[in-house]
């Protein structure tokens, strides 16, 4: 049974690396529900907040500002460790 689990783990690890998600996997291990709940609890502490100065080629209208203010949970393509 352990060989099957090892083969599945290795296949999953290879699939994740080939997906080009910008992550590297190593030594994947199955975890129980309790550990998943602990990870979920710590998720809020791991969020980052960014601010930026922007430049526009034209004056922003009130509608432009409303659109910018409405943006939430913006995903950054920034590559960082």
Contacts of 54 (CB under 8 A, 6+ apart): none
For 4-34, letters b (16+ CB in 10 Å) and e give eeeeeeeeeeeeeeeeeeeeeeeeeeeeeee
Q: How far apart are CA 78 and CA 81, in angstroms?
A: 10
Q: pLDDT (tens digit, 9 = 90+) per residue, 13-45?
A: 888 888 877 777 878 888 888 888 888 887 777
- Nearest alpha-carbon partner for 29 in 59, 65, 2: 2
Contact 9, 28 (CB under 8 A): yes
Percent pLDDT > 90 in the chain is 15
């Amino acid at each position: 049974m352990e060989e099957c689990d090892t083969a599945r783990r290795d296949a999953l690890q290879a699939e994740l690396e080939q997906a080009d998600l910008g992550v590297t996997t190593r030594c994947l291990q199955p975890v129980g529900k309790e550990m998943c709940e602990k990870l979920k609890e710590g998720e809020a502490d791991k969020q980052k907040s960014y601010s930026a100065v922007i430049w526009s080629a034209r004056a922003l209208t009130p509608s432009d500002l409303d659109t910018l203010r409405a943006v939430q949970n913006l995903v950054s393509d920034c590559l960082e460790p």
